Structure 1
């Protein structure tokens, strides 16, 4: 039986709403992971900095979640490369969103003693998403999902270009607004999760589940348009 392959067209999801949801989810997910597992799952450079701090204090126990996160993030990222090259479905991007969605659903229901397993699940899903949506754009401007450092620099650059330009254009202003929206969404996601967790505790991660689900529906709609 001949195996069926699909010609997958890589189309950037330019939706502002998609960018907002992914940035919000990244900020919220990292705050949750840091609060409950003492590590980050999206911002791996942050893990390296925190590990250096733990090392200086001889805090080996808190280094372990960060090491697990880095390893599983890498595995997820490499798997994403294989899936991207396999051309197995027009909806391959949507499928790669499922691990982090399902992980965020079940994590509050698992035993409290499984911290390393939980952060590993989230890091794996985050690594998969990072590769999947590399090159994603917001109205034609590339940005980094689930993180804000690069987006923050781009925001500053776009505002500088707009404010110092003699012939200001609406496009320049729109670009500056777009990067500002992404950065603010990340910050709001982080702050809101920190606030909500005071009441919902470990179940606060379900906010991330909801926002990722919304992003999934947008991505599925985008995939449908590419095959019409």
Structure 2
């Protein structure tokens, strides 16, 4: 059977997913290790810590988790507006605008001293929300580059279905998800090590990964039909 190849934008390519997932893991490790044990991406963890501090009446500590949560909501909201306003623009993909804005925000975070950890975490959560809302699937499969729980569920469910049906396509999709989880772990490990050795400006490494993703999206990849 003859397969035709067309060109498509790389916003859902696996190569882009690698860079974004590395950056996602890096950001969580950075915010937790360098910016006062607050998660940039894992808002479930922040909600747990928020509830715990409220229960203990540690209201000042609770604020450290409430503000990033609010910023995350704001990041999702702003990304929807970016999509609405720029989705028909031809010269640049609206997701590239999201990536470029996120990279700039991470550069700003690297300039903030420890005395501004709270604003830094607010900016980080806002930036991460833009990424998670702007990039929701790769290779046609729903996938997250900033958290793992959904990917773990999808990977294991597909693996089970493969064992039931022996459909190799399901196995391939399952391995795709497990690969993304592994890449996230690598990004987190690198983020932890670099944060300890480089300090506050280590986040610029994540910004560089996002900028590479921004550049990659100018390239059209082959799509078989």
Q: TM-score, normalised by structure 2?
A: 0.83
Instruction: Report the Cα distance in structure 1 between the residues aligned to 2:111 and 2:10, rounded to whole angstroms.
Output: 35
2:3 is matched with none
1:112 is matched with 114
| Alpha-carbon distance change, 83 to 159 in structure 1, aligned in 2, over 3 angstroms | same
Quote how far apart the aligned CAs of 1:221 are: 2.5
Quote how far apart the aligned CAs of 1:193 are: 1.1
Quote how far apart the aligned CAs of 1:17 are: 1.6
1:147 is matched with 147
Quote how far apart the aligned CAs of 1:185 are: 0.9
Q: TM-score, normalised by structure 1?
A: 0.82
Quote how far apart the aligned CAs of 1:94 are: 0.5
Deviation beyond 4 Å, 4+ runs, structure 1: none
**Which of 1 and 2 has higher RCO (CA within 8 Å, sep 6+)?**
2
Quote how far apart the aligned CAs of 1:140 are: 2.4
2:48 is matched with 49
Which among 212, 215, 218 is matched to residue 214 of structure 1? Answer: 212
Q: Which runs of 5+ in 2 are unaligned?
A: 1-7
User: Greater CA deviation, 87-96 or 174-183?
Assistant: 87-96
Instruction: Report the Cα distance in structure 2 between the residues aligned to 1:153 and 1:104, rounded to whole angstroms.
Output: 29
1:144-195 deviation digits (Å, cap 9, x = unpaired): 2211110011111122222343x342x2222121101111111111122112
Query: Higher strand fraction: Structure 1 or Structure 2?
Result: 2
Quote how far apart the aligned CAs of 1:219 are: 2.4
For the 8 Å contact 1:26–1:146, the answer to whether it is kept is yes
For the 8 Å contact 1:38–1:65, the answer to whether it is kept is no
Quote how far apart the aligned CAs of 1:83 are: 1.8
Q: Secondary structure at the match of 1:97?
A: helix
Quote how far apart the aligned CAs of 1:11 are: 6.6
Quote how far apart the aligned CAs of 1:112 are: 2.4
Alignment RMSD: 2.4
For the 8 Å contact 2:162–2:171, the answer to whether it is kept is yes
Figure out how many residues of one structure are paired with residues of the other and give that number. 212
| Alpha-carbon distance change, 30 to 19 in structure 1, aligned in 2, over 3 angstroms | same
Quote how far apart the aligned CAs of 1:39 are: 1.6
1:59-90 deviation digits (Å, cap 9, x = unpaired): 33332221111111111211111221224623
Instruction: Report the Cα distance in structure 1 between the residues aligned to 2:76 and 2:107, rounded to whole angstroms.
Output: 21
Instruction: Report the Cα distance in structure 1 between the residues aligned to 2:211 and 2:14, rounded to whole angstroms.
Output: 16
For the 8 Å contact 1:18–1:215, the answer to whether it is kept is yes
Instruction: Report the Cα distance in structure 1 between the residues aligned to 2:60 and 2:37, rounded to whole angstroms.
Output: 10
Show the 5 A alignment for 1:45-194: 45-86=44-85, 87=87, 89-90=89-90, 91-134=93-136, 136-137=137-138, 139-165=139-165, 167-169=166-168, 171-194=169-192
Instruction: Report the Cα distance in structure 1 between the residues aligned to 2:109 and 2:77, rounded to whole angstroms.
Output: 23
